[in-house]
Amino acid sequence: MNSSRRHTFHIPVLGIGYSLDTAVKVAPYGIASVISLVDDTLIEDMRKFYCKKLNVTFQAISEKIEDFRAKRITAYLDMVDDMVKEKVEEIKESALNAGSEIEKYLSLLPDFSAIQEKFNLVDKSRQAYKDIADWVNENLFTGSIDVNIMTKLDNANVKNGEELPIYYNDAHAALRGFAKSKLSSSVVFSAGMSPRLYSYLENFPDFFPDKDGQIKKTIILKVSDFRSAFVQGKMLSAKGLWISEYRIESGVNCGGHTFPTNGILFGPILEEFRQKRNLLYTTCINAYKDGLKKKDIKDPSVTPEIMLTVQGGVGTAEEHRFLLDYYHLDRVGWGTPFMLVPEVVSIDKDTVSLLANAKEEDLYFSNISPLGVPFNSVRGTSMSIRKMEIAKQGKPGAPCTKSFLKYNTEYTDRPICTASRQYQIQKLKELEQLHLSEKEHEDAYNQIIEKECLCVGLGVDSKKSKNIPVKLIDKVSVCPGPNMAYFSNEISFQTMVDHIYGRKNILDDRPRPHMFLKELGMYIDIYKDKLEAFLKNPDDKKEIKQLALFKKNMLEGIQYYKKLFSEKILKKYITGTDLSL
């Protein structure tokens, strides 16, 4: 199929629940999206919702049965696959009558104007219907129904007081649930390298080429730099596992957890991928062929390819085209703006309103995650309001009901969550014994109670949006990137896609820095925070070296941008964009 008729953007994973059923809404129209596999209970709730909606008998998968987590995930993914295929057939059938569904499909495509001219959609003749139907049967494609697994979320599980084998760990079970589903799509690994999880992939034939050289389930690695891609790609290829896509994420991110580099800016990172793409491919393909040979798997008749995609902070059609054209990328991820598109994500009206009204000062780089990883958030969420209220009442922290983010062992043999009441009460007792100054005590206190129950907060909105009952204490956490500041209204699916492809402009009239400069501003703030912390302990020689390297990397990145922004090749992409910090 002509690549210009495929979409050049994808929708990344959004929180735990926000994109849980996004594929149902966008995959039939050729758009790829990602489902989070963190919360199997929420996934089961969503399957129950759709069974009721489709008038299908719901058979619950109880926590009492063997391998319930993986089985819940498989059952839900199979249902999503069925729903998408049914919708695709509906679209194909509508082509015979030039119905609204096929017109919607066509209107979303990047080259809609050319298709409109080719078919003259106003023409209602029998021949016109036949021409459209023939084109659809040849060209219609389905967006990939991908899944996301955070490699860090691989907690061991316990039954009857005994720790279960490693393959029952959270991430392992999630991978097994995807592997046993009938989907032909990709698993996105994020949050770092996990050799033991990567080795577990080898247990499932769908990740290896079949006799025709086709791989039913492919692998996407979310990476922050070339070295990470190169090391992980070579490691997996040596196992006979091909990485079909490297998803490069900026420090600004699409929202939620961020993994900032040591001051290395996004532009220089993309430049290294641009220059070394062939090195990455040749190294991995050679290791891949050797890996297949060791497993006695015949070399595929079709040589696999790799895609390089990018996400994090993009907000204009000009930035979108620049990333594709200049860095030769295959696709761009648009995450944060889709939080304002209820047609696409599971989000309730109150949260949409909060996000639409958020200004630059409301969107901040927080420490609310129990993982200890920086997290993009917005001020005024119901979860943040509640945690402050209960802390004032002497009941800090939240009941740990889901337990996906348990990592701390300061006070216990088994890990607990730093957002839990169990942890925060202990930590605050310890704080009282330190007899700090009033300012130091206040800062330490705020750091302790800042942690939020993201397991609940990032999933509850998907239930609220569908009128699925939630507990009174279950409040909402939101994970927009700073790019949200420039989108100020609820947006329709069609309008959002038109904005991405430059057919409309939905940004408000506030000055918006180029995505590269927005990230640079974030790194300057990080550097300031690191410097202030260092000045409190100026004898830390290791930190001196880290600060020097961070500054060096930023300055080199600034020089790269100065050169890039002065080149004629870039100027056509930034017309009307404020380049100031």
Confidence of residue 3 (pLDDT cuts 50, 70, 90): very low
Q: What is the pLDDT of residue 299?
A: 83
d(CA 77, CA 69): 13
Give the pLDDT confidence score for residue 408 in this predicted structure.
94
**pLDDT of residue 577 exceeding 70:** no
Q: What is the mean pLDDT of the chain?
A: 92
> Mind listing the pLDDT tens digit for each residue in 36-74?
999 999 999 999 999 999 999 999 999 999 999 999 999
Cα(474)–Cα(457) distance, integer angstroms:
7
Closest-CA residue to 171 (of 156, 155, 154, 148):
154
Please tell me the total number of residues recorded for the chain in this structure: 581
**Percentage of residues in the chain with pLDDT exceeding 90?**
78
Query: Which whole number is the average pLDDT over 534-551?
Result: 89
pLDDT in tens, 20-44: 999 999 999 999 999 999 999 999 9
Q: Band of the pLDDT at 495, cuts 50, 70, 90?
A: very high
pLDDT in tens, 236-282: 999 999 999 999 999 888 778 888 899 999 999 999 999 999 999 99
pLDDT tens digits along 137-179: 788 899 999 999 999 999 999 888 889 999 999 999 999 999 9
Q: What is the pLDDT of residues 414-441, one digit of tens each?
A: 999 999 999 999 999 999 999 999 999 9
What pLDDT band is residue 541 in, cutting at 50, 70 and 90?
A: confident
The pLDDT-based confidence of 1 (bands split at 50, 70, 90) is: very low
- The pTM for the full model equals 0.94
**Over 50: is that where the pLDDT of 2 sits?**
no
460: Cβ contacts below 8 Å, ≥ 6 apart: 17, 470, 474, 475, 476
Domain residue ranges of the chain, discontinuous segments joined by +? 1-143, 338-508
How is residue 467 annotated by DSSP? T
For residue 49, the model assigns a pLDDT of 98
| For residue 570, pLDDT beyond 70 | no
What is the model's pLDDT at position 578?
Answer: 53
Q: What is the pLDDT of residues 351-390, one digit of tens each?
A: 999 999 999 999 998 999 999 888 999 999 999 999 999 9
Distance of CA 520 to the CA centre of its chain: 21
Give the whole-angstrom CA distance, residue 229 versus residue 244.
12
Provide the pLDDT confidence category of residue 572 given band limits of 50, 70 and 90. low
Are the C-beta atoms of 17 and 461 separated by less than 8 Å?
Answer: yes
SS (H, E, C) 471-518: CCCCCCCCCCCHHHHHCCCCCCHHHHHHHHCCCCCCCCCCCCECHHHH
CA distance 379 to 158: 36
